[in-house]
Structure 1
Amino acid sequence: MDRALKILEFDRIKSEIQSYAACRLGREKLDELKPCTSLEDAHRELSAVDEALQFDLRFGSLPFGGVTDVRPMLKKAAIGGTLSASDLLAIANLIHGGRMIRQALEAHTDELEMPHLTAKAAGLFDARQTEVEIRDKVQDDATIADRASPVLQRLRQERRHMESRVRQVLEDVMRRHQRMLQEPVIALRGNSFCLPVRVEFKNQIPGVVHDVSSSGATVFIEPQAAVEASHRVQAIMAEEEREIERILSALSGVVAGVADALEANADILACLDAWFAKAAHANAHEWTRPTLRDDGVWKLRQAWHPLLDKAQAVPLDLTLGETFTMLLITGPNTGGKTVTLKTVGLLTLLAMSGCFVPARRASEIAWCDEVYVDIGDEQSIEQSLSTFSSHLRNIVPLFSRVTSRSLVLLDELGAGTDPTEGASLAMAILDELNARGCRVAVTTHYPELKAYAFREPNAVNASMEFDVETLRPTYRLVIGVPGRSNALAIAERLGLPRSVLERARSMLSTEDVRVEDLIAQMERARREAERAAQEALEEQRAAEQLRLTWEAQKKALDAEAERIRREAAEQARRAVERAQAEAERIIAELRKMRTDHGVKDHELVALRKQLEGALPEQPKRGAGASRAGGSGSGSGGVVIRPGAVVRVLTLGQKGEVLEVDGETLTVQMGALRTKVRPADVELLQNRPAPVQAPPSRRGLPKDVKLELDVRGELVEDAIARVEKYLDDAVLSGLQRVAVIHGKGTGALRDAIRRYLAGHRHVSTWAPGGPGEGGDGVTVVTLK
């Protein structure tokens, strides 16, 4: 496996992933990256990386800030060593970082299922007390705080007091001998405070000379008056250093007590950082999670070599181990055969290491116990090895270790020796590998191996596509079709004389020519099939798009219809509510009128019309009744004549047509007479036109109302008026009239009805209907 990792440049991918680690712990963990020892471990690693990716996408990365590798410091503390203040501060930061990371994961356990991350974080030991002790004594700038101990606090106070006295002495000397100084400042030389004295005055200021300037013009003198105080400061500083050493030793002992737990914390944080680094790398490069299989099947979908530019790499689709176990790839040089082998091998190693793989679609990779690779020319002059020998030296050892769960990748199998012997040896090697049941991918130029793939059921030909027109490879792997060398075609395009080409073709055996022609036909058939498949796919996409468009339109229409239905229902509801409210108002008014005083018939009629007007507007009829058109004509050419019974649609009331005047109808509705357009009425019953009166009766009345009101009159007067009214009605051609006599005591009503019962022109009579005044009105039908 180590040889495969080296040849396939696994370390370059590992370095890229390491750059995404947040701390040194993760980088060191990733430095150990290699294939897992079991399929179960690889599954767990992939699941953990997947959880880290989901967490990173939704909530961001974990807070690794401040986490460093403190394992050497922990080991030093464990064996009794004294840690520095910066070491202790790093350990405190590790404890704090571990707690923050565990809390960050626990805060989102309800929103995201991440069993591997939470289980790993649950193992973090919270040494909060150790952190508190360290931070109580060590400040953020890695210095020991005054409060670290009473002794240290006293010493530092005393030192600051003595330093202040030294400064006061120096300032006093500086004021008194200012002209002797190079400049009025206090300089520090070593641990002593000095004055910069001009060299010509060095003997006039008693003290200790600590330094001389490079020019020799200035002498740095510690005045004698400050020497004693300075010595005291030095003594205090020595005591202070001893106290600090004692504090650091005590804190180191505290760390030693939890060293093992903290070292385990460092390992956990390293693992978490490595998982999140893998996830961040996969997200940045758009890699996908592979599915590891235990049945020896590879299904790479839109994969590419991770060291190639994704935008320029041609995606690789490859299946191995399902219907065949050996893949023989042929084709011209620089066509991508070796890259295909490296892609298969490197993606297998990445998946087995718990990493995502460069593939646009989810791919499946078989778990291997070993990956054997022989790629490249390792010819060595020093070792006296030819190309053939170097290849063979790599192939020989695998026969002692290869199993049915192994992946074998061989580049240019059998190359570097006599073609006939090389081809025979290559087929013998393939036979042995086939008998072992391992998965094999081989590149070759030998035509014998093309025939071998046709003959062997477990093997299949594949080729790297080459465009003869442009003399450029397309880098597409085509399964099932052997490749052509295209040597003669390339030579012709490059300008080789035709005579030379013809001579070369004549030297080809008949069998070789037939094979090349067969391969060419297969390539043409494949291209046509691919073109037809592409056209069918485009048509399918267009049909799918059309279906989606129609479904969207239908959904929109259904939604609009539902909206209109809801609006109509709401309008109807509001209309009914208004009608109910109006009806209740009218009923209440009727009850009040009945209670307060008797109700008259015409008041009942008026209130009933108000009630009918409160009802929602009825839909207009289609069949069963005629709508008037224009000029007095109904639908279907029916002419509305005077005497016709119609419904005035705008009022919802029935009435009788009295007069037709061009585009206007005069309609009598009880006591109401109105003029309407023919289009606003509905014909219920037409009447024949009245017979013209003879010339001798021209003086008879021409305009007779549909009702006669005799309320409040004496019986004799009322009978006389009814008699004349009936005569006028008969002469005017009316067939239905009403006599309004009221209810009262009933005497007038009974007298009029007895008279009507014996009248010669009366066909029938009857009390008025609910909308016509009831028993206070008698409706008369004339003969």
Structure 2
Amino acid sequence: MDRAERILEFERVKSDMLSFVACSLGRARMTALHPYTSLEEATRELEAVDEALQFTVRFGAPAFGGITDVRPWLRKTIIGGVLSADQLLAIANFIAGGRSIRQAVEGREQDIDLVHVKAAVTSLFDARQTEQEIRRQVLDDATIADSASPALHRLRQERRQLEQRMRQVLDDWLRRHQRLLQEPVIAMRGDSFCLPVRVEFKNQVPGIVHDVSASGATVFIEPQPVVEANQRVRSILAEEEREIERILQALSAVVASTAEPLLTNAEELATIDTWFAKAGHANARKWTRPTLRSDGVWRLTEARHPLLDPNTAVPITITLGESFRMLLITGPNTGGKTVTLKTLGLMTLLAMSGCFISTARPSDVAWCDEVYVDIGDEQSIEQSLSTFSSHMKNVVPLFSKVTAHSLVLLDELGAGTDPTEGAALAIAILEELKERGCRIAVTTHYPELKAYAFTEPNAVNASVEFNVETLQPTYRLSIGIPGRSNALAIAERLGIPRVVLSRARAQLSSEDVRVEDVIAQMDRARRATDEALAQALSERRETARLKTEWEERVAKLDADTDRVRNEAAQRARREVEKAYSEAERIIKELRAMRERAEAGVKDHELVALRKQLEEAMPQAPTSRRGRTGHGEKSGAKDAHPIHPGASVRVLRLGQKGEVLEVDGDSLVVQMGALKMKVTASDVELLQNAPKAQAAAATVKRPGLAKEVRIEIDIRGETVDEGLMRLDKYLDDAVVNGLGRVAVIHGKGTGALRDAVRHELAHHPHVSSWAPGGPGEGGDGVTVVSLRK
């Protein structure tokens, strides 16, 4: 595929990806990138790049610091070579960098599914001991540490002492013989420490002359005491170099013991760097992962040529290999026909190389064993080849090489010769390639090929649009419709006289005119269809948005309803449990009263218990709609009117009783020694009283207006309101023959209690009064005896 890669400019896309590699290993691997030789390898590569992209988007690309191409040095140690200090330090950094990559990936494996990337980093050999041994003996500035060996430490210590002694000698000379010196400094000449002595005093300074100034006024002399010490320093340096060489040789042997796994690490790290480079490039360019198919089908959705400006390039949608195997693209020059061919070919090469492609949406690419390309005018004067000849030279090898899994891209097939012969030859070539079963995309201007696509089931016409009004191509590809030449329309817009255009139209055959008219009608119909489709898609998106909004509102309403229902149920459960608990307590007290019934039960005791029971009952919530909800039981009164004397069961207590009084929706029920006021909805009617009995029960004495309770509750009322109700109540109690009643006024501030008792002390119906006893409510109740 080398020729296809060159013509389709695959190298330029790789150059763009090279800017995303992190180390020299990845750069070398990316430079050598080519399509894989099997579908399985390319698919695995795409999966790995996808994992790297997900990792990059969520956590950023891992750092490849310290990772360089150390493979030449590793191979050198295998054959017994000795590495320098900086090479050994590079290997230590390489080992540390690989470990850093592994830790970065393994620290995120719980957050993201990394099958291929994890397998690659897990296989990295951690030569930590080798790294530690190198760093123990080689410093960060690539020098050998004094502690590398005892001998090296001893030699360097002795050398430093000698150098210090030499400096002391020279400093003493500077102080004592300053008049002999040109200036009081120590000068280095080679490896020797020298003094700048004036030439007239050179005989007064014993030593070796190493240099003379350009003017001849200064000679640089190494004093004799320093000469002997410096010779010893040179001897020590030689021994030091031999010791360093021995240390480097030992370290190189340590590296050699792990060289093979480290070479494998280098290959793995090159692969990992390539994955993240491809992922970083795809993320930056907004490319998508293609799906490689083995059935020879391409579906490129909104594809743009990678080398065009993505902000101005018009996306195209290309399909090939599903219902047709040949795509014949027609249209005016500069309309985008060749770009369409190159886009199809380049997308195929990228996908087969394990790279993402420049499409706006996920697309399908067929796996090919080879991509054959004949694009552009390759005529050569030196080779005496015309345009036609150069095209034919590229087409000839196809007949012996193409297979059913090949992709063939031919630009201007049959061009460069007589149009009639060229069209006939082009059709014959397509027929021969069709029999080989390969997939073909062809650009042409020949109307005969347009007609061929109409009659051949395996072929389909396609066209690139051209705006005749603006004389500009739109670069949109339309599959299923042949392109118009638009030559006469363009000539007219450019100012060619009408008489010339009329003569030109007269030269056209009637068949050509009808074909152009049909194509024009098809083009108008397609435009109308595209507009309708765009409107339908817009309305569909709006409908989907409204549906999503409605579903979210319904879901929120359901959630709120469930929450309110659960809260209400919990509150009701607590109220009922509280009511049952209180009822149980009261029932126990009633039973205890019944057991001591021989001692007699006072009325105020029953009144207090009944009041407590009524307060314990949970209040029914008021419906906003003024009616009971579905599934609720209506009270007994809703079904049949309850009359005094009826037999009922109080639902909350589960006790049977007899109805004594009926006042609207309120009932007074006698349950043994207990009288209780309930609502009609709180009882279950067991047996109603006959109407005659009900009438008798309602009027116990002739002329009585109504039944009167044996107690009145005026708590919470003002003094005036309470006294007014008390006075009326006492009249009714006397009329109904009650001898003893209770006035419940509460304790509070005592104002209502004092006013009531003051009123009772002067009331004509009151015989006597007394505060309630311990079981009667205490000082919050006044028990009144009425006159007979």
TM-score, with length taken from structure 1: 0.79
In structure 2, C-alpha distance between the alignment counterparts of 1:53 and 1:675, rounded to whole Å: 77
C-alpha distance in structure 2 between counterparts of 1:218 and 1:668, whole Å: 142
* Structure 2 CA distance for partners of 1:177 and 1:657, relative to 1, 3 Å: farther
Does the 8 A contact of 2:305 with 2:343 survive in 1?
A: yes
Give 2:387's aligned residue. 387
Quote the offset at 1:197 in angstroms.
4.0
For structure 1, the 5+ residue unaligned runs are 627-642, 659-664, 678-700, 713-776, 778-783
Q: Distance in 2 between matches of 1:487 and 1:452?
A: 21
- Residue of structure 2 in register with 1:464 after alignment: 464
Provide the rounded CA distance (Å) in 2 between the counterparts of 1:335 and 1:57.
38
Deviation of 1:521 (Å): 0.1
Deviation by residue 1:507-559 (Cα, 9 ceiling, x = unmatched): 22211111110000000111111111222222222222222222222222222
In structure 1, what is the Cα distance between the partners aligned to 2:479 and 2:308? Answer: 22
Contact 2:74-2:263 at 8 Å conserved across structures: yes
- Aligned residue runs from structure 1 range 63-78, under 5 A: 63-78=63-78
Q: Which residue of 2 aligns with 1:173?
A: 173
Q: Aligned partners of 1:142, 1:338: CA distance in 2, in Å?
A: 56
Deviations 1:63-82 (A, max 9, x none): 42111111211232233322
2:612 counterpart residue number: 610
Using the TM superposition, give the Cα deviation of residue 300 of structure 1 relative to its aligned residue in structure 2, in angstroms.
0.9
Question: Is it true that 1:672 corresponds to 2:716 in the alignment?
Answer: no
Q: 1:228 to 1:536 in 2, by over 3 A?
A: same
- C-alpha displacement of 1:580: 4.3
Cα deviation for residue 200 of structure 1 reads 5.4
The yes-or-no answer on 1:645 pairing with 2:647 is no
The structure-2 alpha-carbon separation of the partners of 1:611 and 1:504, relative to structure 1 and needing over 3 Å to count, comes to: same
Counterpart position of 1:502: 502
Greater alpha carbon shift after TM alignment, 11-20 vs 207-216: 207-216
Q: Is the 8 A contact 1:137 1:144 kept in 2?
A: yes
CA distance in 2, matches of 1:133, 1:177: 51
User: Which letter maps to 1:268?
Assistant: E
Contact 1:208-1:224 within 8 A present in 2 as well: yes
* 1:227/1:704 CA distance change after superposition, 3 Å: closer
Q: What does residue 536 of structure 2 align with? A: 536
The residue aligned with 1:560 is: 560
Q: What is the match of residue 205 of structure 1?
A: 205
Alignment of 1:316-331 (within 5 A): 316-331=316-331
Do the aligned partners of residues 233 and 617 (structure 1) sit closer, same or farther apart at CA in structure 2, a change above 3 Å counting? same
How many Å apart are 1:344 and its aligned residue? Answer: 0.6
**CA positional deviation for 1:469:** 2.1
Which stretches in structure 2 are left out of the alignment for 5+ residues?
628-633, 639-660, 668-675, 681-696, 700-704, 718-729, 742-784
Instruction: Return the alpha-carbon distance in structure 2 between the equivalents of residues 216 and 582 of structure 1.
Output: 125
CA change 1:657–1:52 in 2 (3 A) is same
CA distance in 1, matches of 2:381, 2:26: 42
Match of 1:707 in 2: 736
Which amino acid in the other structure matches residue 334 of structure 1? T
Match of 1:425 in 2: 425
Q: CA deviation at 1:122?
A: 4.1
The change in CA–CA distance for 1:247 and 1:131 in structure 2 (over 3 A counts) is same
Please give the secondary structure, in 2, of the residue aligned with 1:169: helix
Matches within 5 A, 1:344-743: 344-580=344-580, 582-583=582-583, 599-618=601-620, 645-646=663-664, 669-672=709-712, 705=734, 707-710=736-739
Alpha-carbon spacing, 1:599–1:209, altered in 2? closer, same or farther (3 Å): farther
Which position in structure 1 is the counterpart of 2:114? 114
Contact 1:666 1:673 in 2 (8 A): no
- 1:340, distance to aligned residue in structure 2 (A): 0.5
Matched, 1:99 2:99: yes
Tell me the SS of whatever aligns to 2:311: coil
8 Å contact from structure 1 (residues 646, 654) kept in 2? no
Closer, same or farther: CA 525–208 of 1 in aligned 2, 3 Å: same
Matched AA of 1:614:
A
Task: Return the alpha-carbon distance in structure 2 between the equivalents of residues 540 and 491 of structure 1.
Answer: 42
Equivalent residue, structure 2, for 1:227:
227
Residue 582 (structure 1) shift: 4.6
Whole-angstrom CA distance in 1 between matches of 2:620 and 2:24: 84
TM-fit CA distance, 1:218: 4.8
Q: Shift of residue 165 of structure 1?
A: 0.3
Q: Pick closer, same or farther for the CA change 1:653–1:66 going to 2, 3 Å.
A: same
Q: Secondary structure at the match of 1:709?
A: coil
Tell me how far apart the structure 2 counterparts of residues 406 and 118 of structure 1 sit (CA, whole Å): 35
1:7 deviates by 0.4
CA distance in 2, matches of 1:702, 1:136: 114
Indicate if the aligned counterparts of 1:35 and 1:349 stay in contact, CA closer than 8 A.
yes
Opposite residue 126 of structure 1, the aligned amino acid is D
Q: Which amino acid aligns with 2:530?
A: E
CA distance 1:127–1:508, shift in 2 (3 Å): same
Rounded to whole Å, the distance in 1 between the matches of 2:54 and 2:372 is: 34
Matching residue of 2:22: 22
2:714 and 2:80 map into 1 onto residues whose CA distance is: 119
Q: Could you say what secondary structure the match of 1:232 adopts?
A: helix
Checking the alignment, whether the CA contact within 8 Å between 2:708 and 2:732 is kept in structure 1 is no
Whole-Å separation in 1 of the counterparts to 2:338 and 2:367: 22
Describe how 1:231-310 pairs up with structure 2 within 5 A: 231-310=231-310
Partners of 1:538 and 1:207 in 2: CA distance: 100
CA RMSD of aligned residues (A): 3.3
What letter is aligned with 1:488? Answer: L
Q: Is the 8 A contact 2:708 2:736 kept in 1?
A: no
Q: 2: CA distance between counterparts of 1:702 and 1:354?
A: 105
SS, match of residue 317 in structure 2:
strand
Would you say the 8 A contact 2:708–2:733 is kept in 1? no
Structure 2 counterpart of 1:707, which letter? N
Quote the Cα distance in structure 1 between the aligned partners of 2:37 and 2:547: 51
Q: Shift in Å at residue 93 of structure 1? A: 2.1
Pairing 1:73-152 to 2, within 5 Å after superposition: 73-152=73-152
Stretch deviating more after TM superposition (118-127 or 525-534): 118-127
User: For residues 290-345 of structure 1, what are the alpha-carbon distances to aligned partners after superposition, in whole Å with 9 as ceiling and x for unaligned?
Assistant: 11111111111121111112222222211111111100000011111101100111
Q: Secondary structure at the match of 1:442?
A: strand
- CA separation in 1, counterparts of 2:588 and 2:175? 114
Contact 1:666-1:674 within 8 A present in 2 as well = no
Change (3 A) 1:391 1:575: same
How many residue pairs are counted as aligned between the two chains?
A: 667
CA contact (8 A) 1:667 1:676 kept: no
TM-aligned CA distance change 1:46 to 1:215, over 3 Å: farther
What displacement does 1:136 show?
2.1
TM-score normalized by the length of structure 2: 0.78
